[in-house]
Amino acid sequence: MPKSRWSVLAATGVLAGLLAAPGTAVADGAVHDPIPEDPAPSGLGLTLQEIAAFPKSEPTPPPTDQRLVRHARINYVGELPDRSGRKYVPDLNGKLYFLAKGSSTPTTYLDVGATFAPQFFSGRGMGQGFGFAAFHPDFARNGKFYTVHTELASATTAAPDYVQAGTILYHGVITEWTAKDPSANAFEGTRREVLRIGFGGQIHGIQQIDFNPTARRHGADYGKLYVAVGDGGQGVRNGEPQSLSLPHGKILRIDPSGRNSANGEYGVPADNPFTGRAGALGEIYALGMRDPHRFSWDRRWPHRLLLGHIGEKTIESVYEVRPGANLGWSEREGTWVFDKATANPCDRLYPLPADDAKYGYTYPLAMYDHNPPPDWNCTDDVGHAISGGFVYRGARVPALRGKYVFGDIVDGRVFFTYDRQMRLGAPRAPIYTLGVFGQDGRPATMQDLGAVGATGSPTRVDLRFGTDAAGELYLLAKSNGKVWKVTGVRPYR
């Protein structure tokens, strides 16, 4: 794979000795404990204010996987870009909720699941259903917003624009909606399909879709939609995430107002890094990803795009994503070689080769590993996954400024790194843990606040993060369907 002008920055002569922790290797060279140290306690805790509790929802069809049995599968909170103060919250089981300014009572703005029934489904795979919503930065005038949802391939006659090899099990579908009245609190208007991608597995579909909130009107990035597309669970066995002819395992950047794409429903920006390259999809902004779950832009110049990337069974990572970057999956996981061909699933990771710089991979800014117990069966899921967050640039909590706050979806730990230590080509940034305080002011964990054990998977928080127009932070838990606002920081022991 040719080097991009950006990804070379991550590999200039320092990778093997500087970026990668030595880990613990066995006789054949495999690395079994790539990051021996755990995230360090910071001695700080977040004070949280509960702002809303969402209605119970059910997956379709009824799930057999208890990890999908949640109170409500809310997965983001954002603020509409229209100065109304309204917040929006999608639920994977189908509904898009609004929260009016100052209100703690959710109202249904749009039922995506019902609109696309009977092919809509949310009861198989961790990210299936109504995955995300993104409001155009000019929503107040044009009424346009975008959603992504999944459809069962066998239940629809629609043909995907792009497919993986093998049998296609489901489609990820991006839809443009145009509201008749953008100020209304219930949707009335029209819709059209923008892009449909077929997947051969039931995990790692289209994750986040979003607009760059730091882009200025009439600037090159204004109104461009970023689309994080997972590898469909197939990259562990093949090289599709490295293929420039497929969207799988990539972040795409498209222009919903254009029409020069292959399907004629969106535009391919001329300034994308692979536009015009023979055999490459011009939509691709960056490649080499397994599950690019959540991304955000730092509000401070140079407005870096930061990605929380869910690893296979070992490494959870934070990346800076630049145009043309190749994050390495599935040739790399974190800063290690990933062996897809091994007959021993316990021996997947190996040290980087001496000539690694020639590949031009972009490596993580920060990482933590799964730290499995001594008796772990390496074919099982340990139960960790990164929940990407935000560099805090708000005004309410000065102690968080300049910290990238993120967490672990499953166990609900909250982390931060210093943005000044997250630099391409530098040693990986240390990760610190943050405690939380409950409504009563007492030290707690997100498992406590999420009422873990009440519904479905007994220890899973399903933690997510969100932000508002002022840059203030929010935490969400699917386990009990609640949303909290971060109101301060206190010493935590």
Number of domains in the chain: 1
Report d(CA 369, CA 357) in Å as an integer.
23
Q: Is residue 418 part of a domain?
A: yes
Residue in 328, 451, 337, 436 with CA at minimum distance from that of residue 23: 337
The pLDDT of residue 195 is 98
CB-count burial class (<10 Å; 0-12, 13-18, 19+) for 183 = exposed
CA distance 90 to 25: 43
Give the lowest-confidence range in 101-105, 285-289, 323-327, 454-458.
Answer: 454-458
> Mean pLDDT of all residues in the chain?
93
Residue 385 lies in a domain: yes
CA 177 to chain centroid, in Å, comes to 22
Decide if 180 is inside a domain.
yes
Whether residue 249 is contained in a domain is answered as yes
Residue 79 has what pLDDT? 98
- Condensed to tens digits (0 to 9), the pLDDT of residues 60-117 reads 999 989 899 999 999 999 999 999 999 999 999 999 999 999 999 999 999 999 999 9
Decide if 1 is inside a domain.
no
Q: What is the pLDDT of residue 42?
A: 98
The residue whose two tokens read 């779950």 is: 293
445, 435 contact by CB (below 8 A): yes
What is the reported pLDDT for 5? 32
Query: Per the domain annotation, does 2 fall within a domain?
Result: no
Question: Could you give the CA distance from residue 233 to residue 204 in angstroms, rounded to a whole number?
Answer: 6
Give me the half-sphere count of Cα atoms (radius 13 Å) on the Cβ side of residue 172: 32
Q: Answer whether 103's CB lies under 8 Å from 163's CB.
A: no
> What are φ and ψ of residue 78, in 5° steps?
-135, 175
Q: What is the mean pLDDT of residues 154-161?
A: 97
Q: Cα 379 from chain centroid?
A: 24
Per-residue pLDDT reduced to its tens digit, 356-413: 999 999 999 999 999 988 888 888 888 899 999 999 999 999 999 999 999 999 999 9
Has residue 206 got a pLDDT over 70?
yes
Residue 84 contacts by C-beta under 8 Å, 6 or more apart in sequence? 101, 183
Q: Is 486 helix (H, G, I), strand (E, B) or coil?
A: strand
For residues 387 and 409, the answer to whether their CB atoms sit within 8 Å is yes
User: Please, what is the Cα angle at 91 between 90 and 93, to 5 degrees?
Assistant: 140
Strands (DSSP E) contained in 230-324 are 250-254, 284-287, 291-297, 305-310, 315-320
CATH of the domain at 53: 2.120.10.30
Residue-range definition of the domain harbouring residue 45: 7-491
Residue 130 in any domain: the answer is yes
**140 three-state secondary structure:** helix
Which residue in this structure is represented by tokens 């229209």? 82
> At 486, phi and psi to the nearest 5?
-80, 120
Paired tokens of 420:
């000044």
Q: What is the pLDDT of residue 454?
A: 65
Secondary structure class of 163 (helix, strand, coil) = strand
Question: In the prediction, which pLDDT does 23 show?
Answer: 62
Q: Cα-flanking dihedrals φ and ψ of residue 46, to 5°?
A: -85, 135
Number of residues that this document lists for the chain: 493
